[in-house]
A and B are shown apart, each in its own frame.
Chain A
Amino acid sequence: MIDINNISKWYGQFQVLKDCSTKINKGEVVVVCGPSGSGKSTLIKCVNGLEPFQQGDVVVNGVSVGDPKTNLPKLRSHVGMVFQHFELFPHMTITDNLVIGQTRVLGRSREEAQERGVKLLDRVGLISQAAKFPGQLSGGQQQRVAIARALAMDPICMLFDEPTSALDPEMINEVLDVMVELATEGMTMMVVTHEMGFARKVAHRVIFMDQGSIVEDATKDEFFGTPRSERAQLFLSKILSH
């Protein structure tokens, strides 16, 4: 489903990604973790071409992201993405946030889009908020709407870029619950997160990044059992101890 082949990326002189390769199969849930500045967010943004890269290639569902001839908007329309800061459109109601992509990008009718939107809002438990604006919702609620917005496009896979990092602690679980449900339904997911509880519960594989490189790419059991790299062991001991 997602093939990341030897990609490297530089910001000027500074190399943020160093020859990263991995593969995510259909239905697989892969958690990407690592210290801040390790390049994990950059890596996930390369998957749908939000960040350009200089070397290597990413192939999503047979389509090359790096190829200049690729229709990126079309590719992105079926790759869902959830951001750290939600990024709902603040000038639109919750319903319109869910409808706009369906009508303007997928060409669905307003009725059809609204029906789909309502269904997804119900699914994330926010049907009563449909007429409100994003600013009237809590962070956790906004993030659930953001997940619904991505799902409204009927994505073939979902990318999560630190979806709970900007949330107050008591709101993290409501978002993780939605993600766990998605994972158990068989959605292909790439998740940048520090939530190791989530990784333990639903991840198939865990990727550990440090200083722009993929240091560890292991099955969940291997990773939480005995990470091979010292760096990953240190990281794990730090975030699991509190």
Chain B
Amino acid sequence: MMLNLDFAFLTGEVLSGYVVKGFIFSIQLTLVAMLGGIILGTLLALMRLSGKPWLVMPAAAYVNTMRSIPLVMVILWFFLLIPLVTGRPLGAEMSAIITFTLFEAAYYSEIMRAGIQSVSRGQVSAGYAIGMTYSQTMRIVVLPQAFRNMLPVLLTQTIILFQDTSLVYAIGAYDMLKGFEIVGKNFNRPVETYLVAALIYFIISFSLSYLVKRLQTRISIIR
């Protein structure tokens, strides 16, 4: 079989007309879900480490549930359930943003939990000893160190998140992949468009992981 590849139709005009809009959403989704996921994930991690059963149990249940369900199903269910609960549809893009934040929080929380545990007990004691409250000790002493220790892992998780954003095809949200898909249909060139889409995901993810590796050696705290 001959692959008669022809990329001539992928002009700048076509790309900016169909793909850029989707690309911007993919980035938006990644950044919002990362930020929201890390904040929510940190709260979940603090709950799990609090030692208080009424905080530990709901947080553990949430994290374990999210980590046991395929992401694409969470995306679908959230999209289908929300209109049933609120009575009006949320829109595929908004639904995707909320779902990804909630889902990624489970993964970020496990990373932050490990990060918090990597900070020694003595640091907590030192915070307490100069009169800091629990919340001050966490915010000023523990979390900044946990965050720095875990930054490479958090960013690696974000790269995975970026790749996973393509799963919003399940609910028809307009992301980068969707843009390429439409172009492929319009010009009847699905093979070429999917190839280019894959190439772009690869270039972005690969260069980001390279940067993470570089960062790793630079940011570690001097001890």
Where the two chains meet, the residues of A that have a C-beta atom closer than 8 Å to any C-beta of B are 45, 48, 50, 72-81, 83, 85, 87-91, 100-101, 104-106, 133, 135-136, 149-150, 153
Contact = CB atoms under 8 A, between A and B. Distances in A.
Interface string B120-142: 10110110111111001000110
A68 to B, nearest CB: 15
Contacts of A76: 128-131
**How would you classify the secondary structure of chain A's contact residues: helix, strand, loop or mixed?**
mixed
B122 A105 contact: no
B190 to A, nearest CB: 50
A74 B122 contact: no
B185 interface: no
Given A75-B131, A85-B122, 12 more contacts: A73-B133, A76-B129, A76-B130, A76-B131, A78-B131, A87-B123, A87-B125, A89-B126, A91-B221, A106-B131, A135-B223, A150-B129
A106 B130 CA distance: 10
Contacts of A72: 128
B21 interface: no
6 contacts: A73-B132, A75-B131, A79-B129, A83-B122, A101-B132, A153-B130
B136 A83 contact: no
Contacts, number: 72
A91 B131 contact: no
Contact of B141 (A48, A80, A89, A106): A89
A214 to B, nearest CB: 23
Which A-B residue pairs are the 3 nearest by beta carbons? A77-B131, A135-B222, A87-B126
Given A87-B125, A89-B123, A104 B223 contact: no
A149 B140 CA distance: 15
A182 to B, nearest CB: 17
